[in-house]
Amino acid sequence: MAGNGSGKGLSVERVALALVRRARRVPRAEAAALRVATGLRESQLARTAVSRAFDMDLEGIGGTVFLDGGHLLAGQGLDNVPVVILTLVGTPDELVPERLEEIGREQLLTAGFRPVLVVDGDHFGAVREYGWPVELVLSRAQWDGQERLRDEAGWEAYLARRLREVRRNYRAAALLEFGPEHPLTLTYLRSLGPETP
């Protein structure tokens, strides 16, 4: 049972690209296309077409990232709001809900970032309340307790590797700890919004 899949998607892409080449020539097309793409958040084709038509930054750090921003923010331009990785690894379970509330508050007050949460326990229900993407890593206890899941480099190296991957995968603008004390993280997040009195 060896073989390969078909290349059916190529013709669709060619059509989309032809369409967007034409769209580029239309005045105010970008704003209109962005509205369409925002309205069609579920449509890969629409979003791909818009991003390609208008040379959005889809490769570097920051820029346009098609990623869910959660339930709190709304409006055009969401795909350009910076993605920030916030790690709650090591946070006691009972403190996670209030950490999430704090993150949500800062997100709403600043409209300056889209968080991706990194957790090491079952906090999916609590995160789902806000609708943010969440990444799960093995906790130190899981690592220590299950030999077959480990590699030789150790848990710290595993965590660092995973966090690097997460940062790269989401092209996040920052990777920050949201631990028991996090004044610099808050300073950074608040810097993404307007100055407040």
Partner 1 sequence: MSPTSRDVDVLLVSDLRFPGGTSHSIAAEVEALHGAGYRVGLVHLNGPLVARVTPINPALAGLVRSGSAALLLGRAPVTARLVVFRHPGVLQAAADQLPPISTDRAVVLANSGPRDARGRTVYDVGLADRAARESLGVEPLWAPIGPLVRDEIEGVVPGGRLMEQDWVNIIDVDAWAPPRPREGWAGDRPVIGRHSRPSAQKWPRDAATLTQVYPVDGSWDVRVLGGADPVERPLRGIPRAWTVTEFGELSPRTFLQGLDFFVYYHDPHWVEAFGRTILEALAAGAVAVLPPHFRRLFGDAAVYAEPAGVREVVEGLRADRAAYVAQRDRARALVRERFSYQAHVARVADLIGTPHSEGGSDRPESSSGEDRTAPAHAVGEAAAAPATRHTPAVRRPGGPRILLMSSNGAGMGHLTRLFSYATRLEPGVSAHVVSLSQAAPLAGRLGLSYEYLPSAKALSMPPGRWRPIFQDRLGDALNRFDPDVVVFDGTWPYGGMEEIRAAHPEAHWTWSRRAMWREGRNSEQLAKTAWFDSVLEPGDLAAAYDRGATVTAEAHRVGPVTLVDAAELQPREQARAALSLPADGPLALVSLGAGNINDTTSEVGAAVHALTGLGVGVCVTVPGIARAGAAAGEDLHLVRDYPLSRRYSAFDVVISAAGYNSFHELLRMGVPTLFVPNTETSLDDQEARARFAADQGWAHQLPQLSVETATPLLEDLLDRGRTMAARAREADPGNGALAAAQFLTEQAGGRS
- Given the rule CB under 8 A, which residues bind partner 1? 1-6, 8, 41-42, 44, 47-48, 66-68, 72-78, 81, 97-98, 100-102, 104-105, 108-112, 122, 124-126, 128-130, 133-136, 138, 142, 146-151, 158, 161-162, 165, 169-170, 193-197
Nearer to partner 1, 23 or 80 (CB): 80
Starting at the edge strand found earlier in the chain, the sheet holding 174-177 runs 134-136, 114-119, 83-87, 174-177
Nearer to partner 1, 13 or 18 (CB): 13
As a whole number of angstroms, the distance between CA 55 and CA 176 comes to 29
As a whole number of angstroms, the distance between CA 29 and CA 23 comes to 6
Distance of CA 152 to the CA centre of its chain: 30
Nearest by Cα to 190 from 106, 85, 74: 106
Nearer to partner 1, 25 or 76 (CB): 76
Nearer to partner 1, 25 or 60 (CB): 60
Quote the least distance from Cβ 26 to partner 1, whole Å.
Answer: 20
